[in-house]
Amino acid sequence: MDKNVARRGFLAGGAALGAGALISACTSNEPAATQQASASAAAPAAKEGNDAPGEKVVIGFSAPAADHGWIAAISKNAADAAKQYTDVEFKPVEPTNDINQQISAVESLIQAKVNVLVILPNDGQQLNQVARQAMDAGIPVVNVDRIFPDKLSYRAWIGGDNYGMGVAAGHHIGKTLKDKGVSNPVILEIQGIATLPLTQDRSKGFADALKTYGFTVAAQQDAKFTVESGTQVATNLLQAHKKIDAIWNHDDDQGIGVLAAIKEAGRNEFLMVGGAGSANAMRDIQADSGVLKATVTYPPTMAASAIKIARLIAQGKGMSDLLEQQVPQSITLASETITKDNAAQYLPLGFES
């Protein structure tokens, strides 16, 4: 019985936290005061079980520079999650896209002897060493998204499923085309940054899922995650293929540019699937006015969850939904497919790009 109450508290806390995170994710243009108000309004609901104030913890946080909608949502969600707890002192360091600087920033957090670190590295491989230093110094590390190759470098990992994104996109496209009875479809792929392992995982998942329908990817180009590059690449791709059946665009931020190019070319004979789940993309899908018919999620709420996990680790607690005494080592979030049918349900979770 006791357990049940605790569990309910945890769930309520999670819901409140999620709500807070989404409200703030959606109101980025409003003054900070409004966001704080909404965050603290959500907080009182969450004071039982694991969310009850405990031992004071200092959480250090480091993430890449927020020059992209998804990353921006990550930092915001982390800060908002930390605000929900009176027993958490949130210590973010200046975000940067320079690996060298991020290493220094994490080192400074180690020097400051924070209780626990939450790190979304620019590159997991390259930040592995400094994360290991933190662990060796007795500071548990919660690794967000881009994984450290060395398991000694983190206490827990939470992140999205890049391979799963590809699989979800592949299944949506494969099934849609199969249902329409299309044979030998022309399927294109517009990637993010080609050199990142996450991009390669997405592409692999996509190809593997399409294979189950007997389909293959006809052409693949990378668009660097920027709007402008999305336009450039899509313009050329549309010229290269006079008839297209489907496009998977890995990223909804660059997708704005891709859609602009498609509109400019006046093409609509194909369906497009996005990636990451931005609010813009969801609104487009809901309106069903263009080629964008679906997007596959890569939830930025993972940062809020990471803060929660970090707090539990520092306080030596487990996750009350599980029987385990301690927080799990690895949590992979599911990639879901958002279509016209469920867009309304996911829209509050979308981030503005």
Partner 1 sequence: MTEVDQAASAGPRLKAAGPGGRFGRLGEVRHLGLVAALVLLAIVGLVTKPENFATSSNLVSILALASTIGVITVGMTFVIIGGGIDLSVGALMALASVWATTLATQSYGPVVMIVCAVLVGTGAGLLNGILIAYGRMVPFIATLAMMVAGRGLAQRMSNQRTQLVQQDNSMIVSLSTTRVLGLPLLVYVFALVVLLGWLLLNRTTFGRRTYAVGGNPEAARLAGIDVRKHTLMLYALSGLCCGIAAVLIMARTTTGSSTHGDLYELDAIAAVIIGGTLLSGGRGTIIGAILGLLIFTVITNLFILNGLNTADQLIAKGAIIVAAVLLQRRSLKTPT
Nearer to partner 1, 268 or 329 (CB): 268
Burial 11-35 (b: 16+ CB within 10 A, else e): ebbbebbbbbbbbbbbeeeeeeeeb
State which of residues 26, 116, 144, 237 lies at the interface with partner 1 (CB under 8 A). Answer: 237
Note whether 190 and 223 are within 8 A (CB).
yes
231 or 337: CB nearest partner 1: 231
| DSSP E strand boundaries for 94-203 | 116-119, 141-144, 156-159, 187-191
Examine residue 330 and tell whether it contacts partner 1 (CB under 8 A): no
Token representation of residue 61: 């946080």
- Tell the smallest beta-carbon distance from residue 215 to partner 1 (Å): 16
User: For residues 201 and 352, which CB has a smaller minimum distance to partner 1 in the complex?
Assistant: 352
Dist CA 75 CA 306 (whole Å): 11
| Size of residue set near partner 1 by CB under 8 A | 42
Choose, by CB under 8 A, the member of 42, 256, 294, 309 that binds partner 1: 256
Nearer to partner 1, 125 or 220 (CB): 220
Q: Which of residues 118-177 bind partner 1 (CB under 8 A)?
A: none
State in angstroms the smallest separation of the CB of 98 from partner 1: 12
Identified binder of partner 1 from the candidate list 257, 274, 275, 300, rule CB under 8 A: 257
What is the arrangement of strands in the sheet containing 116-119, beginning at the earlier edge strand?
88-92, 57-62, 116-119, 141-144, 156-159, 330-332
Look-up: residue for tokens 């979800």? 168
345 binds partner 1 (CB under 8 A): no
Out of 17, 59, 238, 307, point to the residue binding partner 1 (CB under 8 A): 238
Binding-residue pattern over the window 181 to 220 for partner 1, x denoting contact by CB under 8 A: -------------x-----------------------xxx
Distance separating alpha carbons of residues 59 and 259, to the nearest angstrom:
40
Find the binding residues for partner 1 in span 217-236 (CB under 8 A). 218-222, 224-233, 235-236
For position 287 contacting partner 1 by CB under 8 A, the verdict is no
* Alpha carbons 116 and 112: distance in angstroms, whole number: 11
Other CB atoms within 10 A of residue 243 CB: 9
Q: What is the CA radius of gyration of the chain?
A: 21
Of residues 54-113, which lie at the interface with partner 1 (CB under 8 A)?
A: 65-69, 72
User: Contact at 8 Å (CB) between 229 and 236?
Assistant: no
Q: Which residues bind partner 1 (CB under 8 A)?
A: 28-29, 65-69, 72, 194, 218-222, 224-233, 235-240, 242, 253, 256-257, 260-261, 263-265, 280, 352-353
